[in-house]
Structure 1
Amino acid sequence: MKDPRPVLVVTSLHDPTADVVISELHDRDVPVVRLDSGDFPASLSVEAEITAQGLQGLLHTPSRTADLATVRSLYYRRPTGFAFPHLGEQDARFAVTQARYGLGGVLASLPGCLYVNHPHRIGDAEFKPSGLTAAVNAGFLVPPTLITSSPDAARDFIKAYEPVIYKPLYNPVHLIDGVSSVVKVAEVSVADIDNDVAGTVHLFQQRVPKTADVRVTVIGGETFSVRIDSDLLDWRTDYSKLTYTPVDTPPGIERALYRYLDHFGLTFGAFDFAIGPEGRWWFLECNPSGQWHWLEDETGLPMTAALANLLERTT
């Protein structure tokens, strides 16, 4: 008998990764309700009650209605933010906060729902200092790292650990001459440090020698490790130069992956490692909403099926 409980997919309209997961769920006859928080309130509405039996109510999109008490899982990808362009600045700010804590709070409180991942846990894990600290505690090798707004501390760190790279702590897209851009990872020297460093907080990290990179995607109880070969400092800057090879996940690394995910309460994570000349895996970061589908296209690894299994709750 068909299970009527829906899967909620929370993401933007243009999300090819979500598209393939939804297609897989449709092929399995699993009901799906897709929504974007940016559609509220124009084409998305909610009516939720807190009762003696817990949270109950309905979520309406133009084509679907979800019973909030029976959602089996929620796949939280990359929704757009709430926006009220028809309101003045002050009223819009008020409306955004009400939507975030109201509708956002409802979506974060679904009874018996499996989150992939829970939006609050995603927020926790996106703080790089928290992630690096959790990585050390999980048993990963982490390069020496400095987080500072002090030019003197930055210079001292570079002298002690050079070569050193600079990484943004968070990388929002910004416009340069009308073109979307992000701040890139780059090697820095003492000569690059001036008093402007005191203007905000920066992350500096020892550049470990590497022979390759590895992206490990953890989906529920499955891990998919792909070696990425290139001559790039940051392989994400030029995908045309990359070659991909599926590799086994070392047992010690796999145990640390799950310790890390358990720390943040995550069921999915996209981990990046650098492999040193001696074969050791150095933890770089974990993205709780990271991309993964292009790796399936390149390698044939059954990642869509694994994610659909998780959302369908067959695993």
Structure 2
Amino acid sequence: MLVLTSTHDVTTDLVLRILAERQVPVVRLDPGTDLHTGAALTATYRTGDQRGTLRTPTRELDLTQVRSVWTRRPSPFDGPPALDGQERRFAASQSLWGVGGILASLPGAHYVNHPWSNRAAEYKPAQLATAQRSGLSVPSTLITNDHDQARDFASHHTGAVVYKPLWNTPYAIDGQAQQVWVREVRTHEITPAVAMCPHLFQAKVEKAFDVRLTAVGNRVFAVQIDSPDLDWRQRQSLMQCTPIAVPDRIARSVSAYLTLFRLEFGAFDFAVTPAGEWYFLECNPNGQWAWQPDSITDSIAHALADQLQNRPKA
């Protein structure tokens, strides 16, 4: 089993401990950094034959023997620290397309998730379209760089409208990292600056609570999140999490969603109304999960270990 993640990813340790207890052999690699500190990767391709070897300071792995790959949280390919400027960017790009391509193309390996499936599933417009195709309810949403369209959308909703970034792009002011949270927006706040890039506006769901649903294969684990904030991530110390049952229809739609994106894992966010209707907000195909109550975290860790150890039936 090959696990691709950074050295400091403590969430991975929860699953690796379970696999160690089961005596499942595992090689852990951070390809973005380890290949600059003694690891080496080789692949050969001939007609009818594909082979490869990963060598670390302590292990040597025949890539044809890899049964499962867990793409967790590997570091980005930044290039060797000894290089800078153009040379470092060149090396980083070659690593992305070379190393990334080798590790994403291991013959017969089961991926959780495949890195290319992760990337495809990170686009919010694709998430919304796929959620609809899967039978999930989606709040009325507009994505546009047209100022007039945005103002018209906001003015024609009787309830509130929120703004969400389409990607968690790094942003700093005076060297201090900033976070763009989901927030309400009023019509007069929408300026012609919308034309600078696409913006996502969405009808605010009048919710009773939020739900984080973590899916591993056909197993789902959910917690009810009670928070004083519109965006519960903003002050996680104030939220309360309680395990909650998942309605069968939601579980079926989540399974369909994963199938359409070719995912084995997904971290789904829902807003639930006082009437009990679940509205899909987004799905992080590689979301964090170890912050949840111990019972849920332990169940997810065991489900991931099962998914990696026992290849799904074709």
TM-score when scaled to structure 2? 0.94
Decide which of 57, 66, 74 is 1:62's aligned counterpart. Answer: 57
1:150 aligns with 2:146: yes
Decide which of 238, 252, 255 is 1:255's aligned counterpart. Answer: 252
Deviations 1:237-259 (CA, angstroms, capped at 9, x unpaired): 11122122212211111111011
1:37 aligns with 2:31: yes
Identity of aligned residues (%): 47
- Structure 1 residues 208 and 311: CA distance shift in structure 2, 3 A: same
Who is 2:90 aligned against? 94
Cα displacement (A) at 1:160: 1.4
Letter in 2 for 1:106: I
**Counterpart Cα distance in 1 of 2:140 and 2:203:** 6
Is the Cα–Cα contact under 8 Å of residues 244 and 299 in structure 1 kept in the other structure?
no
SS in 1 for 2:292: helix
Is the Cα–Cα contact under 8 Å of residues 43 and 51 in structure 2 kept in the other structure?
yes
1:111 aligns with 2:131: no
Cα displacement (A) at 1:183: 1.1
**Counterpart Cα distance in 1 of 2:296 and 2:173:** 35
Who is 1:122 aligned against? 118
Cα displacement (A) at 1:312: 1.0
> Paired residues, what number?
309
1:221 aligns with 2:218: yes
1:49 aligns with 2:44: yes
**Counterpart Cα distance in 1 of 2:296 and 2:185:** 34
Runs of at least 5 residues in structure 1 that lack an aligned partner in the other structure: 1-6
Taking the TM superposition and a 5 Å limit, the aligned residue runs for 1:269-288 are 269-288=266-285
SS in 1 for 2:137: coil
Is the Cα–Cα contact under 8 Å of residues 242 and 293 in structure 2 kept in the other structure?
no
- Structure 1 residues 112 and 280: CA distance shift in structure 2, 3 A: same
Letter in 2 for 1:208: V
SS in 2 for 1:18: helix
**Counterpart Cα distance in 2 of 1:47 and 1:293:** 34
- Structure 1 residues 74 and 56: CA distance shift in structure 2, 3 A: same
- Structure 1 residues 54 and 231: CA distance shift in structure 2, 3 A: farther
**Counterpart Cα distance in 1 of 2:292 and 2:106:** 31
Say what the alpha-carbon RMSD is for the aligned residues: 1.6
**Counterpart Cα distance in 1 of 2:38 and 2:204:** 48
**Counterpart Cα distance in 2 of 1:62 and 1:233:** 48
Is the Cα–Cα contact under 8 Å of residues 3 and 70 in structure 2 kept in the other structure?
yes
Runs of at least 5 residues in structure 2 that lack an aligned partner in the other structure: none
Cα displacement (A) at 1:48: 0.6
**Counterpart Cα distance in 1 of 2:296 and 2:74:** 28
Deviations 1:167-210 (CA, angstroms, capped at 9, x unpaired): 00000333334333321111101111111111111111110100
1:14 aligns with 2:11: no
**Counterpart Cα distance in 1 of 2:165 and 2:52:** 41
Cα displacement (A) at 1:159: 0.7
**Counterpart Cα distance in 1 of 2:201 and 2:262:** 27
Taking the TM superposition and a 5 Å limit, the aligned residue runs for 1:202-241 are 202-241=199-238
Who is 1:164 aligned against? 161
Stretches of 4+ moved more than 4 A in 1? Answer: 298-301
Is the Cα–Cα contact under 8 Å of residues 110 and 311 in structure 2 kept in the other structure?
no
**Counterpart Cα distance in 2 of 1:241 and 1:181:** 20
- Structure 1 residues 296 and 8: CA distance shift in structure 2, 3 A: farther
Cα displacement (A) at 1:53: 4.2
Who is 2:240 aligned against? 243
Cα displacement (A) at 1:225: 1.3
- Structure 1 residues 181 and 78: CA distance shift in structure 2, 3 A: farther
SS in 1 for 2:108: coil
- Structure 1 residues 27 and 173: CA distance shift in structure 2, 3 A: farther
Is the Cα–Cα contact under 8 Å of residues 143 and 206 in structure 1 kept in the other structure?
yes
SS in 1 for 2:206: coil
**Counterpart Cα distance in 1 of 2:309 and 2:293:** 20
**Counterpart Cα distance in 2 of 1:164 and 1:115:** 38
Who is 2:78 aligned against? 83
**Counterpart Cα distance in 2 of 1:43 and 1:311:** 27
Deviations 1:3-58 (CA, angstroms, capped at 9, x unpaired): xxxx1111111111112111221121111111112213333321111134442111
Is the Cα–Cα contact under 8 Å of residues 295 and 301 in structure 1 kept in the other structure?
no
